[in-house]
Structure formats: C-alpha cells, structure tokens
C-alpha cells in the first residue's frame, strides 16, 4: 500500500505551506524494524562518544534556532518570541542530557558471601508521540533522555504540525547521529501511532495528548506489559490570596492562560480569587486582558497567535455562553483561526466550563473565602498537572502547595517547566515523569548481578 500526502496549513492565514507524507502502517513497521537494527549498535556506543554526539546535536540545533522558529510560527501559529524559546529549549535539553550519559551507572550493594552489582541497560526502541501544541520541546523531552540512555527513537509528530520534527530529524543526521537511531515518521494516529503502540519491538511509548487517547494507549500497551509515560490534560488553578502582590498577580495572569492561545495543558484556566480582594484584582485583570496583543505571530510585538485549526476554534466556541462572559480581549478578523482572550464568571464548580479542559483562551473566575476553600476548589478536578499560588506569606504558600493535588506548582510565579526538574501530573493528568536528572532512568532496565566469593 503506497503512502499519500496531506496538506500542512498556516493557522494565522489559512494558506497551505507544505505537503507531507502520510505513512502507512506497513511503512511504520519498516521504520520500527530499522530502529531495532540500529539499537543493536547504538547501545554499544561508548558513553563518551554518545555524549559527544548529543552535544553536537545540541550545537547543531542551536545554530538553526531562527530557522526552526520561523517554521514553527508558520506551522503552529506560535509567536516568534515563544518559538525562539522553544527551539532553544530543544538545544538546552540535548545539552543537559549529554551530561547524563557518562553518569548513568549502577551501584554495588553490600551482601553476604559475595558482591552484588547493578547495571542500567537501555530498554530498546522507543516510540514518542507528540501533540500539536508544543511540537519541538515536547519531542525533545522524550528523545533527549532516551538517546542519552542508549535507546533508539521513532518520533511521530502530530499530523497538523509535523514540520519542525522533520527538520530536527535532518539536523540529527547532520550532527552525526547514526542513521535510523532517530527517525521521524509522519502520518495519522491510527496508522502510525497505533502501529507503534502495538509493535512488540517498541519497548516504551512516551505520549503527550488528551486523557482519552492516553487511556487507550495504556490499555493497548498493557497486553505487552509495555512501559508508558503519559502527559495528559490539565485544568490548573491560579490561586490569588488577599496578601498577594495584586499588581504582579494581575499583570501575569493573562500569560498564564492565554499563552499559546490557551493551547497548553499547564494553562491556569481556573482563576480562584479571595473574595475580600476580588473587585480590586478584577479591575487590574481586565486591564491586563484587554492589553494582550493578539496579532500576526511573526511580529515581535505579538503576544498571542491563532488557534491551530478551524475545527478546534469551533470546539472552543462551543463552550462559551456569551451571557457568562465578564469581558474579552480583542482578536483579528479572518483569515486565520483567531479567538479573543475570554473571561467567564458566575458559574458553579459543577459547570462544564469549570471542569472540562477547553484548550483555548478561556478562563473562569471563582471567588473563595479562605485557605481551606481555595484548596478544595483547586482539587475539585479530575486533573492535577500544574498551578500557581499568589501570596506574600511563605507558610501559606507551602501549606497550599502541599495541599493542592498537582504535579507542578509555582508560588508567586507561573513557571511550570524546567528541563532540570521533573514534570508530570496527578490523577488524569498523566502517569510517570519527564525531564529532571532521573529521566534517563525511565528508559533503562535495571539488571542485578550477584557474584559469589565463597571458596
């Protein structure tokens, strides 16, 4: 069965910018076979050499940051400032994990009548399935530590945003990564993604996407006892206490939810405000929201671009009851899949707007009385990925952080992700952790060897 082509569209003007191969299940299987063959030699590459190759990959990406950023702006509608950060993040991740290669070792465990030692060995070929909202960094969070551990990688980008992944695959070869160690296979989830999950040669799946698809991947992988790391949905809370720096909290709140047009699983899409300062905060917040510059993402002044597709814009629209809108920002008219920053109020926590992941530039605002109610509201969700706490009381910040059921929290900040710290969620937000110093361990098997010293 031969492959076909699919169109890639610029979401800010709806123009076709490329056509990409839609690989078949058979072609995907052949890529996995090549990955398996490459693994036999890649796992034996001396640590110092593998580290050098990853450093070279990092430097190669760094030298193409502007090119990669321009591709992402056109393909994903990301603002140019965000896209430059994202491309640099890929280089940073590769540099960070190049340093882990030579430190990825086992240990000696004291035992009687002998010596006991452990080895960390790469698990084998890994399948990485990447979403469309942050194509570059999320891909590198998987392939960086996987390659460092000695695994080979088959990367499947989202069908609507494949272009930077394709270019990263080319840059890997340019940097000296051996052929078939890092492959990019474009196509649909049903053809490429499911083939990867079901193929026994793939020993781990790293998936970022919706909780529904993550649940299906976990069920399919269970038949093979195949490892999975799942980074799924979010409905994070941004909690504003009465002792917070209101100017800073209000000025930063729009970026916490409208960055990348709200297409972010870490988006603080539930704003919880202590009732005693509600009016003061909302006055500042409204001014900040209406000041968000929603415009051509290639402009350096742009703070928010379009949604990814027309169908996704309709999904976001379907959530919004105009009678509940407190205020909105502005957005361009077409062409392009534009939607304005939107603030909703006056809803009960049982409302779908409070509970479901909208994945767009829409935030709900809810009042709370005290610390206990704030924690209860934050935890009243099936998700637990991220969130923020604004207070000048360090004790309160720590108490609330310990009380909120979420994998990544920030106090007086909205920073969720650093390549040097673990990232992942509670509840339906996922399974396992990415990033941080221990990430390569998740791509290894631990082998225990006992050596008798008895005469």
Active site residues: 231
Which DSSP string do the residues of 358-408 spell out, in sequence order? Answer: --SSEEEEEEESSHHHHHHHHHSSSEES-EEEE-S-HHHHHHHHHHS--S-
d(C-alpha 386, C-alpha 414), whole Å: 9
Say if residues 121 and 447 touch (Cβ distance below 8 Å).
Answer: yes
Say if strands 325-328 and 426-427 run parallel, antiparallel, or are unpaired: unpaired
Look at residue 327 and give its three-state secondary structure: strand
Query: Which one-letter DSSP state was computed for residue 106?
Result: -
Q: Nearest 5°: CA angle at 72, between 70 and 77?
A: 105
Tokens 């990544």 label which residue?
Answer: 408
Which DSSP string do the residues of 87-100 spell out, in sequence order? Answer: HHHHHHHHHHHHTT
Number of C-beta neighbours around residue 300 at 10 A: 8
Closest by CA to 213, choosing from 25, 357, 421, is 357
Say if residues 23 and 186 touch (Cβ distance below 8 Å).
Answer: yes
Give the contacts of 127 (CB within 8 A, at least 6 positions apart). Answer: 32, 153, 154, 156, 193, 196, 197, 199, 202, 204, 205, 206
Dihedral Cα 369, 355, 158, 28, nearest 10 deg: 130
Say if residues 104 and 440 touch (Cβ distance below 8 Å).
Answer: yes
- Token couple for 382: 């099936």
Distances (CA, A) of 76 to 6, 296, 441: 16, 12, 32
Q: Nearest 5°: CA angle at 308, between 304 and 313?
A: 90
Look at residue 245 and give its three-state secondary structure: coil
């Amino acid at each position: 069965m031969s492959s076909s082509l699919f169109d890639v569209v610029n979401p800010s003007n709806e123009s076709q910018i490329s056509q990409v191969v839609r690989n078949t299940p058979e072609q995907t299987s052949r890529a996995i076979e090549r990955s398996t063959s490459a693994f036999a030699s890649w796992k034996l590459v001396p640590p110092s050499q593998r580290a050098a190759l990853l450093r070279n990959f990092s430097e190669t990406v760094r030298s193409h940051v502007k090119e990669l950023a321009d591709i992402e702006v056109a393909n994903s509608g990301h603002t140019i400032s965000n896209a430059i950060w994202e491309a640099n993040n890929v280089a940073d991740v590769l540099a960070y994990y190049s340093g882990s290669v030579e430190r990825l070792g086992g240990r000696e465990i004291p035992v009687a009548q002998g010596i006991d030692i452990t080895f960390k060995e790469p698990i084998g070929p890994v399948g990485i399935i990447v979403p469309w909202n942050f194509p570059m960094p999320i891909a590198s969070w998987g392939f960086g530590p996987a390659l460092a551990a000695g695994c080979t990688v088959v990367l499947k980008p989202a069908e609507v945003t494949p272009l930077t992944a394709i270019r990263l695959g080319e840059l890997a070869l340019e940097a000296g990564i051996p052929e078939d160690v890092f492959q990019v296979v474009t196509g649909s989830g049903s053809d490429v993604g499911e083939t990867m999950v079901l193929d026994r040669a793939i020993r781990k799946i790293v998936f970022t996407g919706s909780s529904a698809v993550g649940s299906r991947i976990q069920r399919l992988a269970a038949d093979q006892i195949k490892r999975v790391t799942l980074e799924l949905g979010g409905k994070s809370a941004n909690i504003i206490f009465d002792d917070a720096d209101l100017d800073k909290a209000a000025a930063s709140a729009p970026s916490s939810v409208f960055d990348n047009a709200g297409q972010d699983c870490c988006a603080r899409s539930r704003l919880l405000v202590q009732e005693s300062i509600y009016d003061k905060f909302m006055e500042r917040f409204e001014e900040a929201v209406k000041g968000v510059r929603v415009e051509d993402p290639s402009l350096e002044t742009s703070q928010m671009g379009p949604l990814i597709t027309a169908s996704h814009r309709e999904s976001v629209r379907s959530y919004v009851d105009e009678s509940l809108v407190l205020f909105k920002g502005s957005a361009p008219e077409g062409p392009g899949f534009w939607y304005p920053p939107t603030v909703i109020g006056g809803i009960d926590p049982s409302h779908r707007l409070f509970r479901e992941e909208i994945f767009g530039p829409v935030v709900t605002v809810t009042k709370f009385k005290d610390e206990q109610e704030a924690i209860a509201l934050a935890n009243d969700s099936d998700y637990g990925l991220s969130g923020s706490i604004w207070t000048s009381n360090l004790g309160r910040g720590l108490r609330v952080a310990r009380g909120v059921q979420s994998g990544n929290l920030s106090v007086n900040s909205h920073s969720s992700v650093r390549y040097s710290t673990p990232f992942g969620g509670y509840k339906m937000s996922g399974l396992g952790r990415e990033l941080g110093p221990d990430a390569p361990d998740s791509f290894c098997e631990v082998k225990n060897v006992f050596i008798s010293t008895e005469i």
